[in-house]
């Protein structure tokens, strides 16, 4: 292995001998005879410097300090050269950043072997630095991809509330540090019907975000055909039931194709009456908080979306009364951990919702997030935290 070598030696004869030895071995050499010239030559960043220790002895502490800094900036490896009989214990303090010391009386093969070893070390450092740069670029690309995926995920969340006199809605979303797979939405799909859903794709990162985006498109009443089916008479479509929607999703997103599955709750709300129909696909059961304080967990449904219909999906209809509230949430809430590892759990969520059943819906969600944050002592969530709330207010008073 050959390289560029700087020879800094005050003895012209010794300098020429080293030059002859190194050039014969295929190295490129440059010779200087002072520390000042050596510092200037270091700007060319040679791989190795052979440095006469006498030059360091003649320099003051400030000069040696500037020279050492020049070595570090150039990333040049240094070998000290000493005459035979030199007290080697006095040498290291003069140049503590050198790699070793050679006697000018050493056999030429020993000198070449030392230089070859340093060049190999230098080459390994260059390869390591190059690998670190590539790794850093890769990380930057991944982080940029995650930021883009997070922005897309936020863009899919509801940005307005459909006009209705019978319901009020509120929601909150806190993403985890990486990109999770939570998604919830509220959309009108006919003059009489609103659809509400929440889903959670397995895993994290860009791959989960891509499945989330795809599911969002499939569930759109404009770009997908899962929520409505065409018919040959006015209004030329029928609203598909929650169980039908989950069955269609299960067929469209097989685990074998996407290497992902997702949990989901899908609901239909009658815009003018307190009628709710829902089906659950392995998602944490939505909580129905009745106006009288009773609690129901909406568990009717089937298995995860993507498992090939192992369990048939079922649905349930519920008649709501004014003041009834429904809460859809992701397991990022129940599995949120305190610093000691204790999980928040479903029961704490239910207890909190019951204690705040008389305050406005949006205010209750804001207060809940403060409570959750306090439980975790401010720790970052390891999964997305989603909470979507619905209140049936009944027909407006005239």
Mapped onto helix, strand or coil, the DSSP state of residue 106 is: coil
Structure tokens given for 172: 């909150």
Q: Answer with the residue of higher pLDDT: 203 or 315.
A: 315
Asked if residue 396 has pLDDT above 90, the reply is no
CB neighbourhood size of 207 (10 A): 17
Residue recorded with tokens 């009108």: 188
Same domain, 218 and 348: yes
pLDDT in tens, 121-145: 888 888 888 888 887 777 766 666 6
pLDDT at residue 207, as a whole number: 77
pLDDT at residue 129, as a whole number: 82
Given pLDDT bands bounded at 50, 70 and 90, which one contains residue 159? confident
pLDDT in tens, 24-56: 999 999 999 999 999 999 999 999 999 998 898
Q: For 306-320, what is the mean pLDDT?
A: 90
Q: How many angstroms separate the Cα of 61 from the Cα of each of 8, 53, 65, 169, 178?
A: 18, 14, 6, 74, 51
pLDDT at residue 257, as a whole number: 83
pLDDT at residue 93, as a whole number: 76
* Measured torsion, CA atoms of residues 213, 215, 217, 220, in degrees rounded to the nearest 10: -130
pLDDT at residue 372, as a whole number: 94
pLDDT at residue 108, as a whole number: 84
Q: Answer with the residue of higher pLDDT: 277 or 162.
A: 277
* Within-domain flag for 147: no
* Within-domain flag for 273: yes
pLDDT at residue 144, as a whole number: 64
**What is the CATH number for 355?**
3.60.40.10
CB neighbourhood size of 147 (10 A): 11
Distance (Å, rounded) from C-alpha 127 to C-alpha 371? 51
* Within-domain flag for 138: no
Contact 230, 236 (CB under 8 A): yes
Given pLDDT bands bounded at 50, 70 and 90, which one contains residue 94? confident
* Within-domain flag for 331: yes
* Within-domain flag for 180: yes
Distance (Å, rounded) from C-alpha 43 to C-alpha 215? 58
- Which range among 66-70, 140-144, 224-228, 342-346 shows the weakest confidence by mean pLDDT? 140-144
Q: For 65-87, what is the mean pLDDT?
A: 85
Q: How many distinct structural domains can be found in the chain?
A: 2
Same domain, 103 and 239: no
Same domain, 100 and 200: no
Same domain, 172 and 111: no
Q: Answer with the residue of higher pLDDT: 321 or 236.
A: 321
Q: Which of 129, 148, 169 is the last residue of a domain?
A: 129
Q: DSSP string covering 4-65, please?
A: EEEEE-S-HHHHHHHHHHHHHTT-EEEEESSHHHHHHHGGG--SEEEEEHHHHHHS-HHHHH
* Within-domain flag for 136: no
Same domain, 205 and 64: no
Asked if residue 111 has pLDDT above 90, the reply is no
Q: Which of 129, 147, 173 is the last residue of a domain?
A: 129
pLDDT in tens, 252-296: 999 888 888 999 999 999 988 899 999 999 999 999 999 999 999
Given pLDDT bands bounded at 50, 70 and 90, which one contains residue 152? low
Domain range for 292: 157-392
Q: Which ranges of 197-329 does DSSP label H, i.e. alpha helix?
A: 206-218, 242-252, 255-258
Whole-number average pLDDT of the chain: 87
pLDDT at residue 149, as a whole number: 62
Q: Enumerate the β-bridge partners of residue 331.
A: none
SS3 labels along 154-214:
HHHCCCCCCCCCCEEEEEEEECCCCCCCEEEEEEECCCCEEEEEEEEECCCCHHHHHHHHH
Given pLDDT bands bounded at 50, 70 and 90, which one contains residue 174? confident
- Going by the DSSP 8-state scheme, the letter that residue 138 receives in this structure is H
Asked if residue 222 has pLDDT above 90, the reply is no
Asked if residue 104 has pLDDT above 70, the reply is no
* Within-domain flag for 181: yes
Same domain, 187 and 280: yes
pLDDT in tens, 338-388: 999 999 999 999 999 999 988 999 999 999 999 999 999 988 888 889 999
Q: Enumerate the β-bridge partners of residue 188.
A: 194
> Which helix (H) or strand (E) segment is 389 a member of?
strand 385-392
Asked if residue 155 has pLDDT above 70, the reply is no
* End-to-end CA, the chain: 93
* Within-domain flag for 137: no
pLDDT at residue 277, as a whole number: 98
CA-based nearest residue to 55, from 87, 83, 22, 77: 83
pLDDT above 90 covers what percent of the chain? 50
Asked if residue 106 has pLDDT above 80, the reply is no
Q: How many CA atoms lie within 13 A of 336 on its CB side?
A: 28
Same domain, 252 and 310: yes
Distance (Å, rounded) from C-alpha 23 to C-alpha 325? 87
- Going by the DSSP 8-state scheme, the letter that residue 282 receives in this structure is B
Percent of the chain as helix, strand, coil, to the nearest 5: 40, 25, 35
């Amino acid at each position: 292995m050959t390289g560029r070598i700087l020879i800094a030696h005050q003895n012209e004869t010794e300098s020429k001998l080293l030059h002859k030895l190194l050039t014969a071995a295929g190295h490129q050499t440059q010779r200087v005879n002072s520390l000042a010239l050596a510092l200037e030559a270091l700007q060319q960043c040679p791989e190795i410097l052979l440095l006469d220790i006498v030059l360091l002895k003649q320099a003051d502490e400030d000069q040696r300090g500037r020279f050492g800094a020049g070595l570090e900036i150039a990333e040049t490896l240094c070998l000290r050269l000493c005459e035979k009989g030199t007290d080697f214990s006095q040498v290291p303090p003069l140049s503590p950043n050198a790699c070793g010391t050679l006697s000018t009386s050493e056999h030429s093969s020993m000198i070449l072997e030392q230089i070859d070893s340093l060049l190999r070390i230098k080459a390994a450092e260059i390869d390591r630095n190059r690998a670190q740069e590539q790794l850093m670029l890769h990380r930057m690309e991944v982080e940029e991809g995650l930021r883009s995926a997070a922005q897309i995920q936020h863009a899919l969340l509801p940005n307005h509330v459909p006009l209705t006199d019978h319901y009020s809605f509120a929601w909150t979303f806190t993403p985890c540090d990486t990109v999770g797979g939570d998604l919830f939405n509220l959309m009108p799909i006919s003059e009489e019907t609103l659809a509400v859903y929440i889903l959670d794709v397995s895993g994290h990162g860009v791959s989960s975000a891509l499945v989330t985006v795809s599911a969002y498109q499939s569930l759109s009443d404009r770009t997908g055909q899962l929520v409505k089916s065409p018919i040959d008479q006015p209004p030329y479509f029928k609203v598909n039931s929650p169980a039908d929607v989950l069955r269609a999703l299960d067929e469209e997103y097989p685990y074998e194709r996407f290497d992902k599955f997702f949990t989901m709750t899908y609901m239909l709300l009658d815009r003018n009456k307190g009628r709710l129909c829902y089906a659950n696909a392995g998602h944490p059961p939505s909580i129905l908080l009745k106006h009288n304080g009773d609690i129901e967990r909406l568990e009717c449904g089937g298995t995860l979306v993507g498992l090939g219909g192992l369990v048939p999906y079922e649905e349930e209809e519920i008649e709501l009364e004014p003041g009834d509230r429904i809460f859809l949430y992701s397991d990022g809430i129940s599995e949120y951990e305190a610093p000691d590892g204790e999980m928040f759990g479903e029961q704490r969520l239910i207890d909190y919702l019951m204690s705040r059943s008389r305050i406005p819906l949006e205010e209750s969600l804001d207060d809940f997030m403060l409570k959750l944050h306090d439980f975790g002592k401010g720790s970052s969530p390891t999964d997305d935290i989603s909470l979507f709330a619905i209140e049936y207010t009944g027909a407006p008073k005239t």
